[in-house]
Amino acid sequence: MTEISQDGRSWPHREDCRIRTGPIAEVLDEELLGSIPTSQLLLRDSGVDAAALDPLRSILARRAALIERVVPGGAACKSPESWQQILQIFAEVGLDRGGLVVVAGGGSVGDACAFAASVWHRGVPWIAIPTTLLAMVDAHIGGKTAIHLGGIKNRIGSFHLPRAVVSDRAMLESLPLSERAMGWAELIKAAWIGDPQLLESLEQSSDSIPVDLIPRSEHLAQAVAVKVAIVDQDPFEKGPRERLNFGHTLGHALEMLSSPTMPHGEAVARGMVFAARLAEQIGEASDGTAVRLATLLQRASLPTDCSGIGLESLLETLQGDKKTRAGQLRWVIPRRPGEMVVRPVAIEVVERVLRFPPLEAIVNPLT
């Protein structure tokens, strides 16, 4: 069992958030759950096997009445219409200010349900039970919640820290390899931006990325620790937290333009390699940075090219990104592992790099 505790003093006017990895039956205790709620609402991602949550239900039902509802998974749940349906569930079950929302699902469900919790009665507490690797290492960590609007990803949102996050690696066993791969984009991102030892471990050991793509417990904990440390410095994204957007500028645009929606992990993997190529082009990174990053991502069976998306539409979407300041889009640029810089890049340079041919395939271990 690994526990990472965030000191509440780093989160003004908020309760502590504790993050644990391990079997739910072993790590979800009274200390983590907090005071007895007046009611409990379990929101289950439609993609989650109901039986997998039996240990969770057993623990919660011993404390107070438990109501369970299923919400659609995937990016569709982050539309304003779906978000309003979640609020309607809150109303139907009579969730009051003393209630507790428990969200079991992937990153999109966590985003939408937590945003709903943040505005219901001006904020009701919630607990995150991430069921995908992407949610475990990134989406459910840090308190950012959001939904999409008008073709812009995460345009409306809030900061609403969960009371606790419990990541049980057993939840990953029922997922297909393709779904597990999505989380490796964020795990590798964490290693690149904040943990040289984790990066070295992933690069130098042939079995550091397992064939089944379920990460080691220590690698999962190390990746989570990177995000916790960065968020603790900058809980409301005023400065250092921007590093966590590495790969997300282009990644978000790819997601919004693709149909069906490109999986988040694929989009971020492509976005990170593009940002590395951009860094090389503007002289912020040495040659070979993009290839080094792509090599690791491809070992996790993630794509690293940006082909198949119309250039004009992509540029238009990029210019509407919420990270644009005074008409200039800011990019998280990797100089080297552990050293990132956030800076505007002329759209002409972005367009030129987008026209570069894709990097040749380096490794594809799962074929």
Catalytic amino acids? Answer: 122, 144, 186, 227, 237, 241, 245, 248, 252, 264
Alpha carbon distance 283, 109 (integer Å): 39
Please report how many Cα atoms fall inside a 13 Å half-sphere around the Cα of residue 341, on the Cβ side: 13
Structure tokens at 326: 């005074």
Q: Give 2's strand partners.
A: 21
Instruction: Give the separation between CA 289 and CA 199, rounded to whole angstroms.
Output: 14
| Residue 277 three-state SS | helix
Q: Give the span between the Cα atoms of 88 and 116, in whole angstroms.
A: 10
Packed helices 264-281 and 248-257: angle between N→C axes, nearest 10 degrees: 130
SS3 call for 338: coil
Question: By the 8 A CB rule, do 281 and 349 touch?
Answer: yes
Contact 69, 43 (CB under 8 A): yes
Between strands 40-45 and 100-105, the pairing is parallel
Could you tell me which of 320, 358, 329 has the C-alpha nearest to residue 152? 320
Give backbone dihedrals phi and psi of 70, rounded to 5 degrees, phi first. Answer: -105, 135
Query: For the CA atoms of 150, 257, 192, 204, what is the dihedral angle to 10 degrees?
Result: 150
Which uninterrupted H or E stretch holds 226? helix 217-233
55 burial via Cβ count (<10 Å: 0-12, 13-18, 19+): middle
Q: Which of 190, 205, 365, 361 is nearest to 272 (CA)?
A: 190
Distance from C-alpha of 192 to C-alpha of 244, rounded to nearest angstrom: 10
Nearest to 142 by CA among 241, 240, 250: 241
